[in-house]
């Protein structure tokens, strides 16, 4: 039984939709930005992002898997050798959809889908946070929020205070 599509139907048969998405992805990788309808852009985004993730892996199996979907060798070369290194520090969100004016002939809603090539400096911040968490864990400290650690500290002093008073009261009698 055929599986239903995620997102709007683009018209034609399932094969036609697959070929249309492959052609859109090919042009996106070659030109880095294309203008299309909003429905096509929304359908293209997850398709292209999965291919980019495979391009970041960079091994032969990933290249052959992408070649099954995109048959243009130049587009695959560009994806693996030129675009994937630019996305090395990015964990997702490789594409951006910007709505534009409707098409003149039929008033169809249009959008520009483009690759996000701006560099991301998030990896260093995450690495610093992971290093801090590891140091805290090795020192025996918990990595909780300041509010919770303050509450635990108050509970610890409150629990310790009556035992000190009780021991001093027993010592007096």
Domains of the chain by start residue, with CATH:
14-118 (3.90.1030.10), 124-172 (no CATH)
What's the pLDDT tens digit per position in 108-149? 999 999 999 988 776 566 667 777 777 777 777 555 566 666
DSSP label at residue 81: I
Q: Is 35 helix (H, G, I), strand (E, B) or coil?
A: strand
d(CA 33, CA 169): 79
CB 38 within 8 A of CB 112: no
Would you mind telling me the total number of residues written for the chain in this entry? 173
CB 37 within 8 A of CB 110: yes
What's the pLDDT tens digit per position in 56-67? 999 999 999 999
Confidence check: pLDDT of 169 > 60: no
> Would the pTM count as exceeding 0.75?
no
Confidence of residue 38 (pLDDT cuts 50, 70, 90): very high
Could you list the beta-strand ranges (E) of 28-121. 33-37, 95-99, 110-115
Residue whose C-alpha is closest to residue 111's, from 19, 10, 34, 8:
34
Work out the angle between the directed axes of helices 14-31 and 38-57 (0-180°, nearest 10).
70
d(CA 63, CA 79): 9
């Amino acid at each position: 039984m055929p599986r239903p599509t995620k997102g709007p139907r683009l018209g034609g048969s399932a094969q036609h939709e697959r070929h249309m998405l492959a052609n859109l992805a090919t042009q996106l990788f070659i030109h880095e930005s294309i203008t299309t309808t909003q429905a096509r852009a929304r359908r293209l985004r997850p398709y292209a992002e999965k291919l980019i993730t495979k391009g970041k892996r960079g091994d032969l199996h990933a290249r052959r898997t992408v070649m099954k979907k995109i048959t243009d060798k130049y587009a695959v070369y560009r994806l693996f050798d030129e675009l994937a290194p630019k996305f090395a520090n990015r964990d997702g969100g490789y594409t951006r959809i910007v709505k534009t004016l409707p098409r003149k002939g039929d008033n169809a809603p249009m959008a520009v889908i483009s690759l996000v090539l701006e560099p991301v400096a998030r990896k260093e911040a995450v690495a610093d946070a992971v290093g801090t968490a590891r140091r805290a864990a090795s020192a025996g400290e918990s990595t909780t929020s300041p509010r919770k650690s303050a509450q635990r500290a108050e509970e610890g002093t409150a629990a310790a205070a009556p035992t000190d008073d009780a021991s001093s009261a027993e010592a007096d009698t």
